Every structure is written in structure tokens, then in C-alpha cells.
Structure 1
């Protein structure tokens, strides 16, 4: 019979690991250091997560899921929801995540590290957490752009939308230096969501018009 699991113990390990991985990176952080910070025995890592890679994968998943609602839920999957509304919901969730709203500060540092120092668990993380959202975004782009958009064009459009949101995370330091009078207030974040949404919709509409004009020639 397996022993009962205790959510508070698992949470202590996750948060201690998050702090260590954010500060030192996956390869330099040690399980002993993580467990010392959590005030737990190293055996608890094996019990709850299997090994260091399993613990790190759980931390990545926690970073992706905590804070604002999951992208899949935010985009709205019910047919009556207009695609323009779903795009705005996606952008709002993406900007909130990029700015690290309602989650530990170490989450953003870990995700940034994973971008520049990818680990062996990245492929599985992308497959489980990112790929489903990417598929929904690609379908949404095709719905907004109309028929005839090639897969390569669809991918470009999706990456452009995501890039506008992520730029405010990966380039936050440069933005602060370049524009010291630009602050991410609540009002500015709302305006940013509207801007990215309107900019993206205008670009998709332009592609739709260009294809229509080309078909008439």
C-alpha cells in the first residue's frame, strides 16, 4: 500500500526548488540544497517527483499554470465566442503571464532561463503545456485570416502575436532603460492588450484583403 501524500510537503519542495533553480539554474542547483531550504529529507524528492529532472519538470509546469487562468480556458472554446474576443482573451492571458502577475517572482526567472539555457525536460514541457495552446492559436489565426492562408503564413502570424506579448518579458530591462517614463500600470497593461489585439487583427485583415485582391487578378 502506498503512503499518503501531503500537499503541503510537495508545495514546500516545489517552492524551494523554484528558488534554487531560478538562482542557480537546473544544472548548478543541487537536491541537497533544495531540501535544506525546504527543511525536508532528500528522499522526499524521490517520493514525490522521482528525481531531479522530475522535480524540475514539476516546477516548470507550476510556473506555466499558476497565476492567470490557463490559455486554453482564456481563449474560450465555445463556438458562440467571436474569434476577435478569443484573440483578446489570449493576448490578455499572455501579457499577464509575460509580466508575471499573481505568481512567485522566481517563475519568470526560471522561464527566462529555460529560453536561453534549455534543459533536457524542455521537449516534454513544450509537448504537454505549449503545443495544445499553439494548436488553438493556429486554428484561431486561420479563422480570423479566412481561407487560403498557408501553414507557413499561419505560423508566422501566430509567432508575431506571441512575440508582441513575450517582448515585454524578455526585453523588460532594455525597455526600462530606453523608456524610463513607460510604466506597466494596470491602465497601461489594459491599453497594451488592446493595442496588440488591434494591431494583430489589422495585420490579419490586411492578409485577407491581399489574398482577395490576388484572386481577382
Structure 2
């Protein structure tokens, strides 16, 4: 059984966060960035709020003001560092949206964190740590940012393929399509060694979006053809 590194109560609200004051946006941002790096490197239990505040060069009371407490800060770091898949789902699931446009929304949203440079690597490390040492935050992530987006993509591709009831092949197709985006994060360090120009600038990430949309459409078309071809007995 995986051990828990972040003893966060499952029944506790997300956090008692507050909108930053006009003079505190920079302080909140510094807290998030420093906390992301420290949580990713050392884990929840071994990272103190005093250490975070010291390196962010803010008063420790700022953590309480913006995030409620250490748990609230951890949740904010975990959810904000990789964007908000729930918003992506809402946009791509609009009725009547062409498939190409829906896929473009999906890949644009999921690859956006790569434009943050080193922060993307830290966010990935934090998510991998959560997968290996899960806390209640990972359970929330699994429900809201993994299962729901998967279900939305199943509905989207099922609709465009004319599939009324999802079967194993449709789920396999969806995992393959969404995996195209995840693969870039998994291979991030390898890409930086092999061909750093592929992810060095925002325009390069946008190029990946265009390429992955085309790849996804090709995979979907193969599945459409496969289903239309009578199987041999």
C-alpha cells in the first residue's frame, strides 16, 4: 500500500483562499512558485510554511491570508500549476462544436503548462509524487481532472463516431488520444536533450497542438473505418 506523504483531510474544503489584494499579487505568485518547487523536491510533510515564506521573501502570515494554511497552499499549488482541466472540458463539450475545434481546445489547454518552462517540470514532479504517495488531493485530482475529462472525451468521440454505448475499443481510443498530450510531459527531459527547439518557445508548443490534433483525427478516422468494416469470422 502506498504511504501518504500529505496528510490532508478528505473532508476539508479545498482551501480558505482569498483573492489577492492589489499590492499582493506578486507575493501570492512568489508563494505559489516557491511552494511548487519545494513541495516537488521534498514532499508535503518535509516542507514547512516557514521555509516557503522565507524563500518567497514574504511574511509567513501571507500564507494564512491567501491560502488559509499549509494544506490550502498545497491544494492551490497542485491545482493551479497544471491548469484547470474542468474548464477545458466545459469548453470542448459545447453542443455542436466541430470535432477539430474541440480537439484543438483540449490539446491547447493541456499543453499550456509547457509554456511555463521549468515550472512545468516541477509540476510534473509534484503530480508524480502524488501518484506514488497519494493524499486526498490525488483522489480529488483523479475524480475531477482525470475521470471527468475522460468521460467527456468518451462522449465527444462517441458522438462523432455514432457510438451509443461506449465499449472497450472506444475507451482505448480515448486513452490513446489523450495520451498524445501526456506523452510530451513524460518525455519532457528527453525532448530537451534530443531536440530542445521542439518545446523551447510558445510557438513550438502551438505547433505541437496542431500536430496532435491531426494525429488524433487520424486515429479517430481509423477507428471509424474499422467499425464500418465487417469483421471476418
1:48-90 deviation digits (Å, cap 9, x = unpaired)? 5454333211111211337x9941355261x232122211221
Query: Cα RMSD (Å) of the superposition?
Result: 3.3
2:19 and 2:47 mapped to 1: Cα distance? Answer: 24
CA distance 1:70–1:21, shift in 2 (3 Å): same
1:149 Cα deviation from its structure 2 partner: 6.1
Q: Which residue among 49, 59, 65 is the counterpart of 1:31? A: 49
Q: Do structure 1's residue 203 and structure 2's residue 207 form an aligned pair? A: no
Alignment match of 1:162 (pick from 178, 196, 202): 178
Number of positions where the alignment pairs a residue of Structure 1 with one of Structure 2: 207
After TM superposition, the score normalised by the length of structure 1 is 0.75
Match of 2:9 in 1: none
Kindly state the Cα deviation for residue 109 of structure 1 after the two structures are TM-superposed.
Answer: 0.9
Alpha-carbon separation, structure 2, partners of 1:76 and 1:163: 19
* TM-score, L = length of structure 2: 0.71
Q: Which residue of 2 aligns with 1:91?
A: 107
Q: How does 1:45-124 map to 2 (within 5 A)?
A: 45-46=63-64, 48-65=66-83, 70-72=87-89, 74-75=91-92, 77=94, 79-97=95-113, 99=114, 101=115, 103=116, 105-118=118-131, 119-120=134-135, 121-124=137-140
What is the CA-CA distance between 1:12 and the residue it aligns to?
4.8
User: Structure 1 residues 116 and 214 mapped into 2: Cα distance closer, same or farther (>3 Å)?
Assistant: farther
Distance in 1 (CA, whole Å) between partners of 2:35 and 2:117 is 12
For the residues of structure 2 that align with 1:48 and 1:32, how far apart are their CA atoms? 15
Question: Over residues 173-196 of structure 1, what are the superposed CA-to-partner deviations in whole Å (9 max), with x where a residue is unaligned?
Answer: 22333x347533555434432322
Contact map agreement 1:87 1:140 (CA 8 A) in 2: no
Q: Residue 24 of structure 1: CA displacement?
A: 2.6
Contact persistence 2:108–2:209 (CA under 8 A): yes
